[in-house]
Amino acid sequence: MTVWRIAVMSDSHGDVKTVRQFLDKQLDADHLVHCGDSELSAHDELLGQMISVKGNCDPDGLQEHRMFEAGEFRVLVTHGHLERVKSGMLPIQYRAEETGADIVLFGHTHLYGAEVQNGVLYVNPGSTHRPPSGRPATYAVIEGEAGGVSVSFLHPDGKVADTAVFTDFKKRR
């Protein structure tokens, strides 16, 4: 049984169509998140429906980091460019430790993935508009359940591209 649900996208790069598709398909989520590089105004009505952060391609007006609670978990949202995620995970791990995050949502690399390191779940939803050559356009849905956390990576049309399950994932503190 799902306790909470986060739908997260990133790197839509001005493609309003995929942002609308995401919102239409995921309105039942407890939290809607955009990890930056939307290339939309901070005042855009679409971003107003989500917890959004500023990516390296975004105009000013959005925060670079946001925190929220999903069930008992503290969630950090960042684009990832300030933590240099294209070069490795150590700086974003430091950011997670500094903020006390249990879950970190980030983008920037355009590659989807989910992993647990040192008790922290890191999720990159990929890109809904500009995935690397040969990779699918994706966003992610994270569901907290009694037995852990599941992450589904979905195509913009809502079809499942991949999944990851982290049984017994628990709050760190």
Average pLDDT, the chain: 94
Query: Do residues 160 and 154 touch, judged by C-beta distance below 8 A?
Result: yes
Q: 173: pLDDT confidence band, cut at 50, 70 and 90?
A: low
**What pLDDT digit, counting tens, does each position of 129-148 carry?**
888 888 999 999 999 988 89
- 149 and 34 Cβ atoms separated by less than 8 Å: no
The domain segmentation of the chain, as residue ranges, is 10-135+152-167
pLDDT of 11: 97
* Percent with pLDDT over 70 in the chain: 98
Distance CA 109, CA 161 (A): 18
CATH superfamily for 10-135+152-167 is: Metallo-dependent phosphatases (3.60.21.10)
pLDDT band at 1; cut points 50, 70, 90: low
Query: Structure tokens of 88?
Result: 């490795």
The pLDDT of 111-127, averaged and rounded, is 96
Length of the chain: 173
More confident residue, 154 or 130: 154
**Across 29-41, average pLDDT:** 97
- Decide which of 121 and 146 is more confident: 121
Closest among 171, 165, 126 to 22, alpha carbons compared:
126
